[in-house]
């Protein structure tokens, strides 16, 4: 089935990258795709050998985990090349046009300075690791893989400098700014001016990892701790045994989103629910939530499905603003729908079983989804003529989409069986999505589309992992400095009731979601709130569901609500108009958050039944 004309590719073809460096860019994309392919095939090979010959691949798990490090650094370098490292760029929109070159050069210079120091620190880390002589597998030293960190940070710094301006004078200014920042950091008796500059740089458009990494560098330097500890934290995060599930599930989502799955699934939902008033709203909410749960990026879902779903809503005379609000808010629901990447990441950081966390989110996700569906139905015109049910069309639609409808069985079957690990389940899901979209439906060309889609997936994953690594360095400093213990003691001394604590926690998390992206928020905030929650008798799994439910609201809340920016771009509307469009959904979802908060059974019942 060819791609619908109104659903453009998420990622532009490499042919648009004209210039003398395009061959280098193609090599980078190819390497990124090959590493992702190896991460899929190694676990599948391990499962096959284990089940048939009772043998396995030597150190297969470690090889896949170090693949995450390679994907993270390669993907981040590609994201820097394309100017797509996650950023806020809030204040930059209000800078007069004639001065934008100044703010761009300044933000680029500050970002380059931080990244350059990280490259130096990573080189020190690799030198120490080389002396250790540890082997990865088949005689390959670990430091060979770790060397991608200093090289990657150096390449990112170079590309941040190149993108800091179009003219020589612009780039020269960015060098001056970088030198000035390093000078201030070296000679200032307080870190306040440097932190203020870093925050300003991010607000002007520098990547988010810059402020996290920069603050971590300042804190370590102020206590005379080795800066190599930050790359060490980044390395430890990437080789976490559970982390490979994130890029693998994301890859499965990208294959589905870029193939014909959206059109086929819309056909199924329309055939089954089109006869009901509000059927279009139901299709919109379920489909956007489903795709976000796999891609791990609600913005990708908005870009991929917005062009398909808006005509569907307008076909039943749904108001345009209400339609934009429904699509934008529906994409945020995927945060709580297994196998959503934030669920996996929270389980890793809070040290909870991934299976428990995924099961705990099922009922809360159903509650939030139902509430948004009911809002969508209520806002649809009441005099809309329903589509008569056609049994033949319904059967044809189900038959056409049967392979995609089976994907949850692959994912949850693997997790529930206990025979494969979460990483192996994610690899099986990615391979299944590849087979369905490339070999069965042939929506994606093996030579033309698959490398493009895999490069885009690696780009997204690399940007996220870069943020996570910097956030972990910052968080570990807070833990070592016993900041978490001090915060816990203060909260317990100030608040006596668990109910009051939960209300205050929701308010705090709403602010966190409004000012931080979800992945760095998980890394930074989780170690602070889990001990406090335990002190008030709140299970970390229930706390995690509360946390992520609030982060759903953060996607829709200015100034950093990322869904607002993607929807503004996709539908060609001002940010303010999109923000007003999601206000009804924000109100409804806030009620859902309170229900999830104060009824722990929503989170704890299903794991208690299935994991006894």
Residue with tokens 């490499």: 14
| Residue 559 is assigned to a structural domain of this protein | yes
Tell me what pLDDT residue 346 has. 93
Which residue would you say has higher pLDDT here, 386 or 420? Answer: 420
Q: pLDDT-derived band of residue 83, with 50, 70 and 90 as boundaries?
A: confident
| Residue 7 is assigned to a structural domain of this protein | no
Which residue would you say has higher pLDDT here, 133 or 372? Answer: 372
| Residue 288 is assigned to a structural domain of this protein | yes
Question: Which one, of 85, 6, 571, lies nearest residue 328 by Cα?
Answer: 571
Phi/psi-derived region of residue 83, left when phi > 0, alpha when psi is between -120 and 50, beta in every other case? left
Helix (H) or strand (E) holding 140: strand 140-141
Question: Which one, of 312, 265, 257, 243, lies nearest residue 65 by Cα?
Answer: 243
Tell whether the model's pLDDT for residue 185 goes beyond 60. yes
pTM, full prediction: 0.84
Q: d(Cα 44, Cα 48) in Å, to the nearest integer?
A: 6
Tell me what pLDDT residue 539 has. 95
Contact 113, 175 (CB under 8 A): no
Q: pLDDT-derived band of residue 371, with 50, 70 and 90 as boundaries?
A: very high
Tell whether the model's pLDDT for residue 589 goes beyond 80. yes
Q: d(Cα 603, Cα 612) in Å, to the nearest integer?
A: 15
Q: Single out the residue in 183, 213, 239 at which a domain terminates.
A: 239
Cβ neighbours, 10 Å, residue 225: 13
Phi/psi at 156 (5° precision)? -65, -45
232 in the same domain as 252: no
- Return all residues near 35 (Cβ < 8 A) that are at least 6 apart: 67, 70, 71, 74, 458
Helix axes of 562-571 and 298-314: crossing angle, nearest 10 degrees: 50
262 in the same domain as 184: no
The chain-wide mean pLDDT, for the chain, equals 85
Q: What pairs with residue 141 in β-bridges? A: 135
Which runs of consecutive H residues, i.e. helices, occur in 241-338? 245-258, 261-273, 279-295, 298-314, 320-332
| Residue 10 is assigned to a structural domain of this protein | no
| Average pLDDT of the segment spanning 382-388 | 68
280 in the same domain as 230: no
Q: Residue 171: which domain range?
A: 21-239
Using DSSP's 3-state secondary structure scheme, residue 227 falls into coil
257 in the same domain as 219: no
| Average pLDDT of the segment spanning 2-24 | 48
| Average pLDDT of the segment spanning 486-494 | 83
Q: Single out the residue in 216, 239, 262 at which a domain terminates.
A: 239
Q: Which two tokens stand for residue 346?
A: 């929270």
Q: d(Cα 226, Cα 230) in Å, to the nearest integer?
A: 8
Using alpha carbons only, what angle is made at residue 478 by residues 475 and 484, rounded to the nearest 5 degrees? 105
Q: Which two tokens stand for residue 7?
A: 């659903």
| Residue 553 is assigned to a structural domain of this protein | yes
| Residue 11 is assigned to a structural domain of this protein | no
366 in the same domain as 322: yes
pLDDT in tens, 131-155: 888 888 888 899 999 999 999 999 9
Measured between alpha carbons, how far is residue 517 from residues 87, 244, 373 in Å?
9, 20, 25
476 in the same domain as 419: yes
Cβ neighbours, 10 Å, residue 570: 21
499 in the same domain as 464: yes
Residue with tokens 């706390």: 543
Q: pLDDT-derived band of residue 3, with 50, 70 and 90 as boundaries?
A: very low
Tell me what pLDDT residue 583 has. 92
Tell me what pLDDT residue 1 has. 34
Q: pLDDT-derived band of residue 19, with 50, 70 and 90 as boundaries?
A: low
591 in the same domain as 534: yes
214 in the same domain as 344: no
| Three state DSSP letters for 461-483 | HHHHHHHHHHHHHHHHHHHHCCH
Q: What is the DSSP string of 85-102?
A: S-B---GGGGS-GGGHHH
Contact 560, 520 (CB under 8 A): no
Tell me what pLDDT residue 191 has. 66
Q: Single out the residue in 219, 239, 259 at which a domain terminates.
A: 239
Tell me what pLDDT residue 15 has. 39
pLDDT in tens, 337-360: 888 888 988 998 999 988 899 999
165 in the same domain as 61: yes
314 in the same domain as 227: no
Tell whether the model's pLDDT for residue 396 goes beyond 90. yes
| Residue 353 is assigned to a structural domain of this protein | yes
pLDDT in tens, 206-224: 888 888 888 888 888 888 8
Tell me what pLDDT residue 296 has. 65
- Return all residues near 527 (Cβ < 8 A) that are at least 6 apart: 349, 475, 478, 479, 484
Which runs of consecutive H residues, i.e. helices, occur in 94-167? 100-132, 142-146, 148-162
Tell whether the model's pLDDT for residue 14 goes beyond 70. no
Tell me what pLDDT residue 115 has. 93
257 in the same domain as 235: no
Tell me what pLDDT residue 4 has. 35
Tell whether the model's pLDDT for residue 564 goes beyond 60. yes
Q: pLDDT-derived band of residue 432, with 50, 70 and 90 as boundaries?
A: very high
Provide the percentage of residues in the chain whose pLDDT is more than 70: 91
Contact 566, 299 (CB under 8 A): yes
Tell me what pLDDT residue 85 has. 84
| Residue 493 buriedness (CB in 10 A; 0-12 / 13-18 / 19+) | exposed
Question: Domain total for the chain?
Answer: 2
Tell whether the model's pLDDT for residue 318 goes beyond 70. yes
Cα atoms in the Cβ-side hemisphere of radius 13 Å centred on 404: 30
Phi/psi-derived region of residue 224, left when phi > 0, alpha when psi is between -120 and 50, beta in every other case? left
Tell whether the model's pLDDT for residue 364 goes beyond 90. yes
Highest mean pLDDT among 150-164, 174-188, 303-317, 407-421: 150-164
Tell me what pLDDT residue 206 has. 81
Tell whether the model's pLDDT for residue 180 goes beyond 90. no
Tell whether the model's pLDDT for residue 20 goes beyond 60. yes
Phi/psi at 553 (5° precision)? -65, -35
Tell whether the model's pLDDT for residue 419 goes beyond 80. no
| Residue 15 is assigned to a structural domain of this protein | no
Residue with tokens 């966190």: 512
| DSSP classification of residue 482 | T
Q: Which two tokens stand for residue 100?
A: 């934008």
pLDDT in tens, 271-292: 887 777 778 888 889 888 888 8
| Three state DSSP letters for 52-86 | HCCCCCCCHHHHHHHHHHHHHHHHHHHHHHCCCCC
| Average pLDDT of the segment spanning 568-595 | 88
């Amino acid at each position: 089935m060819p791609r619908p004309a109104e659903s453009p590719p998420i990622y532009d073809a490499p042919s648009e990258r004209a210039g003398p460096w395009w061959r280098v860019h193609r090599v980078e994309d190819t390497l990124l795709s090959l590493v992702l392919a190896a991460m899929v095939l190694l676990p599948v090979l391990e499962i096959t050998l284990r089940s048939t010959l009772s043998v396995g691949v030597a150190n297969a798990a470690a090889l896949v985990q170090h693949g995450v490090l390679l994907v993270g650094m390669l993907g981040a370098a590609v994201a820097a090349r394309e100017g797509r490292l996650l950023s806020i760029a809030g204040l930059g929109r209000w800078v007069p046009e004639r001065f934008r070159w100044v703010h761009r050069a300044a933000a680029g210079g500050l970002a380059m300075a931080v990244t350059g120091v990280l490259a130096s620190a990573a080189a020190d880390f690799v030198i120490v690791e080389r002396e250790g002589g540890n082997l990865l597998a088949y005689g390959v030293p670990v430091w060979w893989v770790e060397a991608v960190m200093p090289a990657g940070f150096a390449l990112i710094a170079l590309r941040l400098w190149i993108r800091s301006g179009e003219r020589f004078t612009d780039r020269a200014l960015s060098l001056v700014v970088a030198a000035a920042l390093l000078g201030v950091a070296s000679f200032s008796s307080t870190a306040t001016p440097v932190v203020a500059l870093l925050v300003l740089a991010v607000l002007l458009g520098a990547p988010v990892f810059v402020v996290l990494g920069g603050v971590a560098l300042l804190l370590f330097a102020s206590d005379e701790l080795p800066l190599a500890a930050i790359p060490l934290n980044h390395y430890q995060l990437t080789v976490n045994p559970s982390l490979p599930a994130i890029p693998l599930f994301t890859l499965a989502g990208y294959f589905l989103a870029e193939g014909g799955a959206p059109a086929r699934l819309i056909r199924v939902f329309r055939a089954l629910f089109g006869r009901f008033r509000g059927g279009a709203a139901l299709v919109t909410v379920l489909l956007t939530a489903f795709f976000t749960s796999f891609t791990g990026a609600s913005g990708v879902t908005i870009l991929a499905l917005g062009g398909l779903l808006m005509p569907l809503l307008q076909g039943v005379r749904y108001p345009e603003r209400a339609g934009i609000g429904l699509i934008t808010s529906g994409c945020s629901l995927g945060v709580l729908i297994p196998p959503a990447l934030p669920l996996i990441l929270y389980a890793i950081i809070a040290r909870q079983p991934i299976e428990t966390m995924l099961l705990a989110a099922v009922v809360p996700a159903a509650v939030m989804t139902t509430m948004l569906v009911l809002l969508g139905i209520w806002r649809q015109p009441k005099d809309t003529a329903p589509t008569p049910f056609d049994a033949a069309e319904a059967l044809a639609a189900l038959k056409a989409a049967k392979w995609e409808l089976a994907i949850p069985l692959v994912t949850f079957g693997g997790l529930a069986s206990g025979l494969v690990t979460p990483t192996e389940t994610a690899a099986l899901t990615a391979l299944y999505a590849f087979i369905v979209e490339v070999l069965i439906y042939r929506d994606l060309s093996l030579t033309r589309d698959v490398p493009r889609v895999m490069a885009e997936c690696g780009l997204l994953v690399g940007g996220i992992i870069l943020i996570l690594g910097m956030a972990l360095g910052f968080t570990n400093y807070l833990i070592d400095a016993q900041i978490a213990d001090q915060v816990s003691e203060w909260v317990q001394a100030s608040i006596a009731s668990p109910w009051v604590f939960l209300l205050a926690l929701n308010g705090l998390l709403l602010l966190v979601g409004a000012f931080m992206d979800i992945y760095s928020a998980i890394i930074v905030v989780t170690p602070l709130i889990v001990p406090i929650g335990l002190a008030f008798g709140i299970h970390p799994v229930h706390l995690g569901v509360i946390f992520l439910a609030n982060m759903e609201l953060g996607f829709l809340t200015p100034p950093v609500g990322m869904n607002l920016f993607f929807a503004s771009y996709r539908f060609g509307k001002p940010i303010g108009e999109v923000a007003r469009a999601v206000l009804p959904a924000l109100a409804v979802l806030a009620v859902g958050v309170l229900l999830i908060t104060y009824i722990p059974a929503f989170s704890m019942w299903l794991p208690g039944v299935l994991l006894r």
